[in-house]
Structure 1
């Protein structure tokens, strides 16, 4: 059950409040982090067990915010989410191998090579689109056998 926030109240919320996940996600992450499987994985990857207490703190803060609308609790979750995102992107920011661009290459939208166009014409997706346009199959006549994950 999520707390519904009236549109008028949104202006009172911190700018990055969209980072906050549903409270149940923090509880799930804590459970996942403290499981035997996760502890084995952490030991294998990092050589030690990781600290999972932040997930629990975030869950408790989220529940507190949900019940009392305490802005300090919300701010603490936002700060935690920002730290998680910064940690996840640390490798990207420290990367010195690839040169980062300020704009796309000038020829980013040039035509595809002829061989690629020929292969694309015979793809499963192209054939199904052609059948659909010709009316050989309808949008909802048969369940899809193609799943994109």
Structure 2
């Protein structure tokens, strides 16, 4: 994961400085958030458009840290990232449907039952593994995004 603070310098900066992304990511997020496409999506999903100003503030604070080594600016970005992370994980922490495990089940690595083993041999993944081993896989990209 890329961070604005170099890994070998983490100890000399605040505790959560690893959360701070490279400054360009904040600029990209701001540009994306303020685009017409994003505004339409925000309005369609939430019924209103989002306030994107925090991305701009984070970008400016990140640049202040990068150029001036301003620790207050770094703290501002860290605080913002922690709030963003807390909001993103809110549903996970409020989930009362599942009970968290203390440890994995004792038999978590037992062999696959015989009735499923036959299906495993004819799966798409198994077929592609065989083709790869036999050298039948073509070297062109399988990416469908263009």
TM bucket, shorter chain: 0.7 to 0.9
User: Which residue of 133, 136, 139 corresponds with 1:143?
Assistant: 139
Determine the structure 1 residue equivalent to 2:112: 112
Partners of 1:65 and 1:125 in 2: how far apart?
47
Which structure 2 residue ranges, 5 or more long, are not aligned? none
The two structures, once aligned, show a CA RMSD in angstroms of: 2.6
User: How much does 1:4 deviate?
Assistant: 7.3
Which structure 1 residue ranges, 5 or more long, are not aligned? none
Which has the higher mean CA deviation after the structures are superposed, 75-84 or 99-108?
99-108
Matches within 5 A, 1:61-140: 61-130=61-130, 136-137=134-135
**Secondary structure of 1:15's match?**
coil
**Secondary structure of 1:43's match?**
helix
Partners of 1:96 and 1:12 in 2: how far apart?
39
User: What are the Cα deviations for residues 53-82 of structure 1, in whole angstroms up to 9, with x where unaligned?
Assistant: 100000000111110111111111111111
Distance 1:4 1:57, change over 3 A: closer
